Structures are given as structure tokens and as C-alpha cells.
Structure 1
Amino acid sequence: MSVKQLIEDDVPTRAIKRGLTSLLQKQIEQVSQLPRAKQKFVSEMLETVIQQAGS
């Protein structure tokens, strides 16, 4: 599931909930293997998406 799919309103809630936790865990593990600069980029991107979702 792409980031675009996660933030689009038309994605069914069930599809997001199913397997999302394991997907996010896998992605977090992959990000932890990236160089620090790329980890920071991913973190900032996530923060932006989270802030936009709260608006």
C-alpha cells in the first residue's frame, strides 16, 4: 500500500486496517537500516502527512 493510498479518502477503512500494522512495522525496520539523512527525510515526510491529516 502506498503513502498516496493511505492518505486518500476513498480507500476503504477495512483495507487500511487489515495488515497495516505489520506493513508499518516492516517499513519501520527498513527505514532503520537507511542512513541517518534518509531516516530524517522519512520522519519529516511522515510528520507532514500527520499534520495535514489533523487539519
Structure 2
Amino acid sequence: MSGGYNQWLFVISAYTVVILATVGILTTSWLQMRRAEQRLPSRKISKKDPPRAH
């Protein structure tokens, strides 16, 4: 290698970007899921309700 370029700087930077992007996507997805769950009508299931067919 010439010019003092260190390939590990690029590798570490690339992994950092990927890890931060993954954490960001997981966080936003989790928050959106929690908001969607809160918007669902809360329905209490009693023993009289027939089972749902899927």
C-alpha cells in the first residue's frame, strides 16, 4: 500500500454506517408498530365470544 491509506478506516466506517442505519430502521419500525397497536380498538374477549376462524 502506498500513500499511507489505511483500508481499515474505510471498513470500520462502512460497518458504522450500516449498524447505525439498521438501528435507526429498527427503532422507527418499532415506534410505528407501537403507535398502530395503540390505535387499535381495545376489545375484551369474554368466554361467550365464539372462536374466530382464520
TM-score by length of 1: 0.38
Q: Which has the larger radius of gyration?
A: 2
Query: Which structure is higher in RCO with an 8 Å CA cutoff and minimum separation 6?
Result: 1
Higher helix share: 1
The alignment's TM-score, normalised by the length of structure 2, stands at 0.38
